[in-house]
Structure 1
């Protein structure tokens, strides 16, 4: 059975249902923008401006430096940086060299780093001086052969650059980097190398531009193989949906981390494809965001609901003018209607909800920005993106209005999981990506997600997989059993709650458990709530019933709310 595509009738006239995708490497966007808008600002970072001509030359220099050090086509190069110019230079430089980029979260602990670097086989990493000790401590447990280290101060304006060491000292930061041999300075690397044009033979449909790690649908961190063609397609689809954006004229607020595929596509790749000014913000702090909006007047602000919530609830809100913002696409978590309405009222721009997943580069759906959007829906499939709702029992396509698993097909869908053919086969079937998300389509072709991938928790836009947190809790000597679920949180969307059963005669307090987790997990994965129990609900074969725990927790919260109302 095949259902027609009712969503196409709801596309704005300016958005074509099918698009042209140039057969080029991802670096094409940077070369084109540098040729057409050489003197336009590509990156604005804390007062420092880098033009498109400069960005291209810096990327060439870095590519040549990598090649000189033996990096070959297909080698994996890890980038472990916050939102800084070096992130963009490293990303495009590695691609010019023909390498595959492995974006690495700077919040990762040693345990998480070892897994990703070992699994990817990355031999080169670009990281921050503040992160050097963490990376060097796990080096012997990974394939790493060379460390390239940079500092926030490297790309600050002249006076700020001079003052930065004093700021670091005042904040108690005194990074000790043992330069020499295979530990090199990013800046020295750039300075030593001529910015000669780099030619790498790339097959866009086959060659992997990016290994982006995700828990996928099973919770084990896997490298999603995204080709140059995948990432080119998603950027071009993005432009077709945001059709009012003008090349060489836009300013994008780069708050979403570039190490996350959502920020990488909607801020960096998308921004460079239209020669936009990318306003890089290394850390989300509301006052800093207000300052950037005041100074640079961004026109586009991709983000997550927590970011918009923090702005509209800040006491200084009325002191700032947000009216430059014309469009925002919210992803990573459901967008509350009151947040959408309040933000649109303040900016007079549009804030719409979208949907995607790492395996699709990542965006597959969004509400029309300048057309008919439906609150509560993740919107319409993007051009050239086909969607079906599948019956999980029969594998048949379901009719409109019925709930099943969302499957998507399009040019942005991944090549597969890195070195995991069985897991690839489980989610990629005849070109269709089975997302693991439950949803339905209405008569007009708008899609709705009713439940997230199995038990995945989304807190502040970050994906958290219960199994990983549970394994860390199990390492505590007093814990016999642990189960982790997501519970509602007014600010983060969801937060982590852990159910603990102690070994007989043993116990531990919440502070001790938090300290235990903090050594092994990134901060956003640490449980914020604990419940201590004598048993956990299980199936007949001993599998913990997380769904039952969620139901029990929700019932208690509803009863507590009723008690408050009646008191």
Structure 2
């Protein structure tokens, strides 16, 4: 195995600059950034951070939207052995203060478009030694980003990092309490992608793909020799071998070894694939993982919309212009695209695979996606930040086989357990638990919370679900969101799925409110479609024949809008805070 650098990320980036220097990695407006340019600038920025006193293991916070600087900052931090801590750019001063202080950030880099909330938080950020601002009109007392980069030499940086070192600290959404800093290692990312690629190949092989479809996938999935591998895996002999005990473990180790060697990966650098993730913010691990994948693959072109706000027409223009083959969105993003009146104006025929994640994508929405994009393959990914993050996935290729709430078969060890941790039979609801080398190193500075979710090597996810007759996991609800009314358990998402079908409803969040008789009563907080009017009785009546009486809302509140997370999830805790009084 040839080693290009003792630094985990720099080992890949050095190989890319050497063997694929003109490979186009980032497309952002008129900017087209090659691996060579990125390697040079991250060397310079890394040298700049060293002059600011950043050393191995230091935490560096940064706040950027999806732009080239986000990627530069991340890789530069990793090249010098420090730990990147990306921050949600929608944060208020209070939230900025909490995360920056909690992670012990030594340096804070940011875009000037977020300067106002950062300036308000700054007096309390006493551990931060330096602030670096990118963009126009930076505050006079901060270091200017381009100055920090341009004044430094393009010299290699050698700070050793390995599998067990922390690659990134991703903070959870904080929907059930204060945000927790999840420490994810380089090795966990490598192992997750090895498991993902192996399971993707095995499941695509089960579908008996045509040569044309195999070729289409080759232009979509960034894995060297994919078309040939799929053909081999579809043979009866190989499928029999895969059923033997231990074969899949040996193949997984082989994939791990393969992904560890840029000297082998470089032979796939020229097979360019073009991706876009317009509604996934990079500070969220659902999309952050792509920055690690890109260094492994080397053939991924990342198309980034310039607008901070999700703009369907900008997405359509980019797909048409750049011939994008793979698009990932949160379910809310996909809904906005398929419902947009301008969709039919654009040639979107290059799109082959649609990834969806960071929330359940209902079968009704998948059906619309397949109708609007003929021949589309839907890759439905599910997981948690603590698992780096993908744990299960499902592949949908035709409308007839769509299933609600199914997140597919796990790609790692998983079980469904009761309150005592005992495994339950298929069909019975319990908590989903996972065991894998992809699990987090722990919550930063919070051993107690880490011990609460880690038991005997198993990560207890807090998600409730069950195994269906085909061995696929069906997700029911978050454990902490279950409403108990009169001794009966009610799962809010089940009620929401019904109310979502009302033609006047745009969005809904179901919560429990205190009730003297029943303990808790079901309340639906409804956002209506623009220009629509409805009454509480109308919504309750709509539910009458579609669910048991105890599940039906006892009250309905109408809201102009619902609080939404950066990945399109309704913030139930915030809804409860705003609308949860009896």
- What TM-score bracket applies, with the shorter chain setting the length? 0.7 to 0.9
Aligned to 1:208: 166
**What is the CA deviation profile of residues 450-472 of structure 1, one whole-angstrom value per residue up to 9, with x for unaligned ones?**
11242399xxxxxxxx9xxxxxx
Question: Which runs of no fewer than 5 residues in structure 2 stay unpaired?
Answer: 202-216, 223-267, 484-491, 527-534, 547-582
Question: Which runs of no fewer than 5 residues in structure 1 stay unpaired?
Answer: 1-21, 152-174, 458-465, 467-484, 500-534
Q: Which is bigger in relative contact order (C-alpha 8 A, separation at least 6)?
A: 1
Between stretches 446-455 and 238-247, larger displacement belongs to: 238-247
Aligned to 1:10: none
Aligned to 1:192: 151
Is 1:249 matched with 2:222? no
1:548 counterpart (488, 507, 521): 521
Aligned to 2:478: 452
Aligned to 1:358: 385
Aligned to 1:337: 363
Deviation at 1:340, TM superposition (A): 1.2
Partner Cα distance (2:342, 2:543) in 1 = 34
Aligned to 1:177: 138
**What is the CA deviation profile of residues 63-100 of structure 1, one whole-angstrom value per residue up to 9, with x for unaligned ones?**
11111110011111111000000000000100111111
1:400 counterpart (402, 426, 429): 426
Between stretches 107-116 and 194-203, larger displacement belongs to: 194-203
Partner Cα distance (2:303, 2:200) in 1 = 18
Q: In 2 relative to 1, CA 24–178 (structure 1 residues): closer, same or farther, beyond 3 Å?
A: closer
Q: Within 5 Å, give how 1:22-101 maps onto structure 2.
A: 25-101=8-84
Q: In 2 relative to 1, CA 320–101 (structure 1 residues): closer, same or farther, beyond 3 Å?
A: same
Aligned to 1:124: 107
Q: In 2 relative to 1, CA 552–349 (structure 1 residues): closer, same or farther, beyond 3 Å?
A: closer
Aligned to 2:454: 428
TM-score, length of structure 2 as denominator length: 0.70
Q: In 2 relative to 1, CA 373–76 (structure 1 residues): closer, same or farther, beyond 3 Å?
A: farther
Q: Is the 8 A contact 1:299 1:325 kept in 2?
A: yes
Aligned to 1:291: 317
Is 1:387 matched with 2:414? yes
Q: Is the 8 A contact 1:437 1:452 kept in 2?
A: yes
**What is the CA deviation profile of residues 232-269 of structure 1, one whole-angstrom value per residue up to 9, with x for unaligned ones?**
2233444445554244410110311111110111x332
Partner Cα distance (2:473, 2:121) in 1 = 44
Q: In 2 relative to 1, CA 373–98 (structure 1 residues): closer, same or farther, beyond 3 Å?
A: farther
Q: Is the 8 A contact 2:434 2:459 kept in 1?
A: yes
Q: Within 5 Å, give how 1:472-491 maps onto structure 2.
A: none
How many residues get paired?
448
Q: Is the 8 A contact 2:433 2:459 kept in 1?
A: yes
**What is the CA deviation profile of residues 341-380 of structure 1, one whole-angstrom value per residue up to 9, with x for unaligned ones?**
2222333221132211111111111013679975221011
Aligned to 1:378: 407
Partner Cα distance (1:486, 1:140) in 2 = 45
Q: In 2 relative to 1, CA 336–443 (structure 1 residues): closer, same or farther, beyond 3 Å?
A: closer
Q: Is the 8 A contact 1:88 1:268 kept in 2?
A: yes
Q: In 2 relative to 1, CA 381–35 (structure 1 residues): closer, same or farther, beyond 3 Å?
A: farther
Aligned to 1:537: 515
Q: Is the 8 A contact 1:81 1:87 kept in 2?
A: yes
Partner Cα distance (1:45, 1:113) in 2 = 27
Deviation at 1:337, TM superposition (A): 1.5
Q: SS of 2:62's equivalent? A: strand
Aligned to 1:277: 301
**What is the CA deviation profile of residues 180-232 of structure 1, one whole-angstrom value per residue up to 9, with x for unaligned ones?**
4xx11111111111121111121322x21211111568422110111111222
Between stretches 369-378 and 130-139, larger displacement belongs to: 369-378
Q: Is the 8 A contact 1:95 1:209 kept in 2?
A: yes
Partner Cα distance (2:52, 2:517) in 1 = 54
Deviation at 1:27, TM superposition (A): 4.3
Aligned to 2:128: 144
